Structure 1
Amino acid sequence: MKAAENKRAVSVGIFVLIGIVILVTGIMVLGGQQKRFVKSIRVNAIFDNVGGLQAGANVWFSGVKIGTVRKIQFYGNSQVEVTMNIEESSQQYIRKDALAALSTDGLIGNKIVEIVGGSTKAETVEDGDILHAKASLNTDEIMATLQENNNNLLRVTTDAKKILDEVLKGKGVAGAVLRDSTLSNRFKNTMANLQAASSSAAQVTKSLSTASGSLNQFAAKLNMKGTLANDLVSDTLIVRDLRASTARLRDVSNTASEATDNVKKATEKLNSSNNAIGSLLNDEVVNRDLKSTIHNLETSSQKLDENMEALQHNFLFRGFFRRRAKEEAKQKAATAAASPDTNLKK
């Protein structure tokens, strides 16, 4: 009887021992996952909305799990303070200017806290420090944004369908172009004209490029020493001579202008009948009188010649004319006699 009871007691003791071992092992495993048996510091973060974050959630830094959420409580009027246990071994990598942000473990996983950022110029966090929270979109906001985008896309699709229906019915410019052959031909002609204009513009551009090259060549010639163009640009003596020549040309031009004015004035006087030469050139009465006077003078001269001829044959003046003829003959003979002696002396 006692043997059976002892056997039963031993079996119960073994089962109890196994249960205790399993319990201790579970506690150790869960404690290891929750970082319960690791030295840690306490860091806080204040959020406007934790989006369903719970105590025991993991804390990540650069993709590595460094702690867990210890406590969540309200802070102030409507904010939430999250207390986190961070391993001391990770303390040296987290700076005081780092940010705490809410994220998810996977696409649709549990909420976690992710510590991001931080510069090397800032000091490392200490026990009891408060990190700034980084605003992030929660799932509801993302779904609301997606819903709004879907509504906008639906409106755009509906509007595009209406426009295509109007075009297929021949309404509007696009519909008229598609259905009206005349308008379509005009549109083609317009495009052809635009293409021709574009070709002309390309030719003009090419011409401008050629002109630019010519200008560059001309500028190069101007810069070439020893050429007339370079001398005109750089030689001050030539420039001074050109200025002097220009001044002389200006004086000559002024003189010519004055001479032209004088000729013009003389011509005006010649065309006027207020002077003798103008009257002779322009007044027909004066010309007629002058012609008559010349004719009378010729007639008088002819009559004078006849009178002189008559006097030569008159016995009263016949001796005078004979003596005059003899004197003229003597003068001619003396002149003829003096001519040979002059030639010999020479």
Structure 2
Amino acid sequence: MEATDTRRKITVGIFIFIGLLIFVLGVFTLGSQKKAFVKSFLVKVVFDDIQGLKAGDNVWFSGVKIGTIKKIQFYGTSQVEVTMNIEENAHQYIRKDAAASIGSDGLIGNKIIVIDGGNPKVPAIEDGDRIRVNKTLSTDEMMKTLQVNNRNLVDITTDFKTISSNLASGKGTAGALLSDEEMAGNIKSIVANLQSTTIATNKMAAELRTFSHSLNNKQGLVNNLVSDTVIFNRLKSSSYDFQRAAQSANAITANLNTASAKLNDTNAPAGLLLNDQQTTEQLRRIIENLESSSYNLNEDLKALQSNFLFRGYFKRKAREAGDQNKK
């Protein structure tokens, strides 16, 4: 009986010992996960919105867990102050200008605080310091943005569906281009004309290049005109001669205009002869009288030649004239 009680007590003692051992191991395990037995210091940060953070959530630095959230309390009128327990071995990497932001452990994981170490030239942070907030888009804001983008994508898809339907049915200019064979033929004709125009333009450009090369030829006329001073001076002299000839022609023209004006003037003798009918008639009579007088004078001379008084004189004149002709 006593042996049975002793064995039962030993068994109970063993179970109690095993239970205590498991409890101690559990405490140490949980303590190591929560960094309960690691030397740490406190850092504070004030957020406008903690987005569901709670005490015990993790604090990360460069992707490594360096602490946990110790306490959350309201600050001021509408802000929230978060106190963090940071491991001492991360002390030297966090500077006074460090910034904290709220993230998540995965896409839909637990909320965490992510610390940016800051500028290495700035002194290290001290126990109880408050760091600034790094303004970044939260997960909720990202989801809102994605929702807006999704709605915009739906609208774009709907519009594209409408456009593609109009194109398929031949509506609008683009639809007509795709479905109207006559318009397609016109476009092909336009493209062909553009190609021929391009070929002609290229040919013209080549001819212009050839012509410009010929102008630059040292043996050519243009180059001689530009560079040969003798030819240039000759051309200059010829230009002056042309100018003088033009001036002379202008003077002659002016004189002719003046003479023409005088011919039309009845006060001038020539104008009177050309324009006065009475004077013209008188001149005609004078000319007729002169012709009649000349005829009568010739008859008188013939009569004188027949007269015996002047017959010897006229014969002598005839002999003298014959002698002059022989000489």
Query: In structure 2, how many angstroms separate the alpha carbons of the residues matched to 1:41 and 1:70?
Result: 11
Matched with 1:64 is 64
Return the offset for 1:142.
3.9
* Residue 188 (1) aligns with residue 178 (2): no
Return the offset for 1:112.
1.0
Query: In structure 2, how many angstroms separate the alpha carbons of the residues matched to 1:128 and 1:275?
Result: 130
Query: In structure 1, how many angstroms separate the alpha carbons of the residues matched to 2:278 and 2:25?
Result: 158
Matched with 1:45 is 45
Matched with 2:312 is 322
* Count of aligned pairs: 322
Query: In structure 2, how many angstroms separate the alpha carbons of the residues matched to 1:218 and 1:43?
Result: 87
Query: In structure 2, how many angstroms separate the alpha carbons of the residues matched to 1:116 and 1:105?
Result: 16
Question: Which sections of structure 1, spanning at least 5 residues, go unmatched?
Answer: 340-346
Query: In structure 2, how many angstroms separate the alpha carbons of the residues matched to 1:62 and 1:174?
Result: 57
Query: What letter corresponds to residue 43 of structure 1 in structure 2?
Result: V
Matched with 2:292 is 299
Question: Deviations along 1:253-312, whole A, 9 cap, x unmatched?
Answer: 444323322222223333555433344456666555544433432332222122122123
Q: What are the residue-to-residue correspondences of 1:195-234 with 2, within 5 Å?
A: 195=191, 198-199=194-195, 202=198, 206=202, 227-228=223-224, 231=227
Q: What are the residue-to-residue correspondences of 1:91-170 with 2, within 5 Å?
A: 91-116=91-116, 118-157=118-157
TM-score (norm 1): 0.70
- Computed over aligned residues only, the root mean square deviation of the Cα atoms, in angstroms, reads 4.6
Matched with 2:249 is 256
Query: Which of 264, 267, 276 is residue 269 of structure 2 equivalent to?
Result: 276
Contact 1:58 1:69 in 2 (8 A): yes
**Are residues 176 and 29 of structure 1, via their aligned partners in 2, closer, same or farther at CA, if it must alter by over 3 Å?**
closer
Question: Deviations along 1:300-344, whole A, 9 cap, x unmatched?
Answer: 2222122122123334x33xx5257558968998x99xx9xxxxx
Question: Which sections of structure 2, spanning at least 5 residues, go unmatched?
Answer: none
The percentage of counterpart residues that share the same residue type is 41
Return the offset for 1:138.
4.1
Range that drifts further, 251-260 or 41-50? 251-260
Query: In structure 2, how many angstroms separate the alpha carbons of the residues matched to 1:327 and 1:243?
Result: 66
Secondary structure of the structure 2 residue equivalent to 1:49: coil
Secondary structure of the structure 2 residue equivalent to 1:127: coil
Matched with 1:344 is none
**Are residues 273 and 134 of structure 1, via their aligned partners in 2, closer, same or farther at CA, if it must alter by over 3 Å?**
same
Contact 1:73 1:82 in 2 (8 A): yes
Return the offset for 1:5.
4.8
**Are residues 66 and 250 of structure 1, via their aligned partners in 2, closer, same or farther at CA, if it must alter by over 3 Å?**
farther
Secondary structure of the structure 1 residue equivalent to 2:54: coil
Query: In structure 2, how many angstroms separate the alpha carbons of the residues matched to 1:242 and 1:107?
Result: 92
Contact 1:168 1:175 in 2 (8 A): no
Contact 2:97 2:122 in 1 (8 A): yes
Return the offset for 1:80.
1.3
Return the offset for 1:55.
1.6
Question: Deviations along 1:218-274, whole A, 9 cap, x unmatched?
Answer: 99779xxx9446549xx9x99999889867765654443233222222233335554
Matched with 2:74 is 74
* Residue 266 (1) aligns with residue 247 (2): no
Contact 1:271 1:278 in 2 (8 A): yes
**Are residues 229 and 242 of structure 1, via their aligned partners in 2, closer, same or farther at CA, if it must alter by over 3 Å?**
closer
Query: What letter corresponds to residue 31 of structure 2 in structure 1?
Result: G
**Are residues 168 and 326 of structure 1, via their aligned partners in 2, closer, same or farther at CA, if it must alter by over 3 Å?**
closer
**Are residues 323 and 300 of structure 1, via their aligned partners in 2, closer, same or farther at CA, if it must alter by over 3 Å?**
closer
